[in-house]
Structure 1
């Protein structure tokens, strides 16, 4: 089982779009765009703008060359933050943990942050296994849940 990262391209958007439509995954992620993309075209336009943004690094997670998720770095309030998404069929296999490790190896910026819903235990474990520590929490609106929930903030120093 070989896990690797490759730079995301517009050819990857159809599969990423399909993952974003999965209601169970959206609920788990919690903090999503306000509404599901109305169409693939709308989704693609937003992502194509991100490809031109030098503060965003987006990678496809591959398992034996098959696309199974994404991981990336972006800026939130001018601070570097990571994000990740795994196809639910490949969850709980250590793939996301390894993909985050590969990402933080590529992204040398420190500190780097991540945020996660208070009840997303799997995501918290991914971060903790990669050296992130919980530093704060705050109430935030989780659009995928249509409610305010506790958002846990994590930080990686080294």
Structure 2
């Protein structure tokens, strides 16, 4: 399988918008789609303009199939971990179930992440749960129960950043 990663650019956003505008994917991840203007604004203001954010496209056989992002999240910070990095990803639905997300996340963790990393995953999103667990993430939800407003949201953590 020919999977590689490269920085997301402005020209990639139209396809990434279409991926996130899929009602089946939105339901699976329990994440609402953004309107086009809000989507572009989010990427420009919160990702491209954020020096601590990482935005990487997932490419399979020279086709953009999704993206991985990582950012610093202050809500999870503790005295022992003052800087907490989260990751997220989105794969176009027609590429689900092919091992692309698992391999891409593995590459991303090897190439871009040098510290413990966390992920929020909806309990119903079995695909993402499997991808995270295959890459060494463990459920640490009980340690952060005060953060939750949704019963079905889990927090996963990966301490060891080497595969």
Structure 1 length-normalised TM:
0.86
RMSD across aligned positions (CA):
1.6
Q: How many residues align?
A: 148
Partner of 1:145: none
Partner of 2:77: none
Aligned pair partner of 2:100 in 65, 82, 95 = 95
Aligned pair partner of 1:37 in 25, 28, 34 = 34
The gaps in structure 1 that reach 5 residues or longer are: 142-147
Partner of 1:157: 159
Larger strand share, 1 or 2: 1
The gaps in structure 2 that reach 5 residues or longer are: 75-82
Partner of 1:60: 57
Point out 4+ residue stretches in structure 1 off by more than 4 angstroms: 137-141
Q: Is the 8 A contact 1:140 1:150 kept in 2?
A: no
Per-residue deviation at 1:107? 2.4
Kindly provide the CA deviation profile for residues 10-55 of structure 1, in whole angstroms up to 9, marking residues without a partner as x. 00000011111110101111144xxx333x2332122112212111
Q: 1:119 to 1:41 in 2, by over 3 A?
A: closer
Q: Is the 8 A contact 1:80 1:109 kept in 2?
A: no
SS of 2:19's equivalent?
A: helix
Kindly provide the CA deviation profile for residues 99-121 of structure 1, in whole angstroms up to 9, marking residues without a partner as x. 10011112233211011011211
Structure 2 length-normalised TM:
0.84
